[in-house]
A and B are shown apart, each in its own frame.
Chain A
Amino acid sequence: MEQPLLSVENLGKSFKDKQVVKDVSFGVKRGKITAILGPNGAGKSTTIRSVMGIMRPDKGMVQYQNYPKQGVPHQVVGYLPEERGLYKNVKIMDIILYFADLKDYPTKKARSRALEYLKKFGLEGKDKVKVEELSKGMAQKTQFIASIIHEPELLILDEPFSGLDPVSQDVFKQEIRELAKNGTAILLSSHQMNLIEELADDLLLIHNGKTVIQGSMEEVKEQYSNYKCVIIGDNAASIFTNVPSVQNVKQDGKKTVLYLERGIHIPTWLSHMPKEVIIQEMTIDRISLHEIFVGIATEQNLMQTVGEVHA
């Protein structure tokens, strides 16, 4: 198997008494897109910041291929943080060149690359415009260019799509894919499951600082994308207790969702449906990444409520 460019092992980080990241391990390979998913406060940004060395992890290892020290070599890593901004009263080109200079990238090369990317992102001729005159989307494009201007081997994007309109999202998606195709190892975090589903090669879903799901996109889908059956109709939940192969029943007014076990045969399963079930509408499809995500996020809510009752 290919050696990952970046390997993170047993990463742990606490703030005060609260452990934000517990034993998270993953790898990012060249030419692959690895996605970190998780609800708010799951520890995504903390993990990324620990990898970047902006935070010092309490335990664990961050190892970059052929790099003798712990952590990542800054010159070959591009980083777009979640909390991002630009100096206001400077020209776009100046700030891009400054960030390139900080990475020891030759200015001349950086300039031509910057012009190329500005054109690609629809910002042609804006290189002398001041940052304060940019719209939020334009600023975000500029930040993105700044993070890849030095042709990084490893690109880390924390919530790259937040605040972008669908058109810009597509531009970013396209560019991220292309970078990966050219051999860049990419680690990104996002809330937007549909985008992750389209983009990511490898997945890491964390919750409360712990790894919940990990693997390649196909593995995860295989493992978790079970069927679910949604029935609209005035039914009591108790009717479904005798239906086989049902993992879980969720009811919300007239809507009942039956989560089915893996590997069942749908036509056979349908024949077990009780005769008295009222069906106004019925759909059967696979659980999306989105639902896995929501399932975990809401479980967290449940757990919190229980915790409060006990307390």
Chain B
Amino acid sequence: MAMNTVGRPTTPVAHDAAAPATFSGAKGLLQPTSLIFETGAIDRTGVDLPPVKGIKPRLGGLARTSSTGNPGLSEPEAVRHYVRLSQRNYAIDLGMFPLGSCTMKHNARLNEKMARLPGFADVHPLQPISTVQGALRVMDELSHWLMTLTGMQAVALSPKAGAHGELCGMLAIRAALDARGQAHRRRVLVPESAHGTNPATAVQCGFVVDEIKAAPDGRVDLSDLKTKLGDDVAGIMLTNPNTCGLFERDIRIIADLIHEAGGYFYCDGANFNAIAGAVRPGDLGVDAMHINLHKTFSTPHGGGGPGSGPTVLSAALAPFAPVPYVVKRADGSLDLIEHEADSDGEPFGRMVAFHGQMGMYTRALTYMLSHGADGIRQASEDAVLNANYVQACLKAHMSPAFEGVCMHEALFDDSWLDGTGVTTLDFAKAMIDEGYHPMTMYFPLVVHGAMLIEPTESESKASLDAFIATMTSLAQAAKSGDTARFTGAPHHAPVKRLDETRAARKPVLKWTPPAEISQIAAE
């Protein structure tokens, strides 16, 4: 009897390597996308609302007459649009995201669930204090964790992101200097390896920036620092562990030098995740430090925010913290101080409306309670171990920027690519083809063609081994002259390499209807 093969499992046949383009624009599971302005309609909506009543308006004659131009989509269309777009993103949940200095660790879903509890998410920032005691407890408990982990005396929770926290710390320093009659201290020392936010922040606070050189071992050049001290120095902004992934061995000496010179020590806490639970910055002489809750305490990066940058302060700077802050009343309940003593906002005042990033506080507190003091320490140790393991396994194939052990990230320069015709950028784009988000590239600036790899504690040994094997193969390919693999990369991403120069030369920053474009062209 002949077998009916309909419905039987298929057997692959040999096929041509160059697959034909599809008619639909899809690539199998990867669906084509369009802009909402191309598929939506101005009279379509995905929200059902009750009918209006026709009450006489009280807009004072200020009714809108123009269209917003924004089309609507029904819910199934909208869901499909955003799910298709999401599939063009890489994410921690898909694979390793070793972006140095950015700390892409796992985002626990319990944190998401807790942030959405109605007592946190559905509470208005200006409800009577008696009705928000639970929310204030979250702020108070988070403050306790942050001050205890850092060994500092006060914390300003309200800064909205890391750079905003820098602003908070530097404004506190400026207020403290003004208060002691030393407004002439306007020079801030910043190592040349610093994050770009540091010099930008200092300038926004009205300071001038003086760069300090890096020593050959990747740390602050102490002799250069000493020559730059003076009675016009407001302070130093120093990242520790620094942006090369190295601990500043002389940090206590640096703190003492700055203090003896009459300045303050601002520590950029971007890399606190390497030492949290193991070392308290307060013991190292720090006066102010922001903590990126979205790095160390794993609140989601969300494709670029929202962040959260609580800033811890030493006893010297605590009086200059901005409002608002939480205080305990005699009866044990909590209160929120929202007004400065002086209505003019002296000496520092307020940085932001309301009380900061509550949604991030709940996530970070959930992370802290889950890990505990022991788990936070273990996470830091694992992050450092993972980075050192990657460095140890890759140093035979790539060139480490500095000798010796690193902290939570491993830094390589591009000298190992000399003569290959492959740049750091090309190498990064080839990593995309291999299914990895590239490491941070060309930062810090003190290392040529820098490649900064931060695995975080979230990676298993098996995951690291797979990454190391891929990086090793890529390095060998680069050295063996397989240049096209790199210069043409990415070959397998949803789009090929994008033309950033063109985007900047003639910026197209919003969608314009085709009819208007042709009209502009005709004019």
- A-B complex is real: no
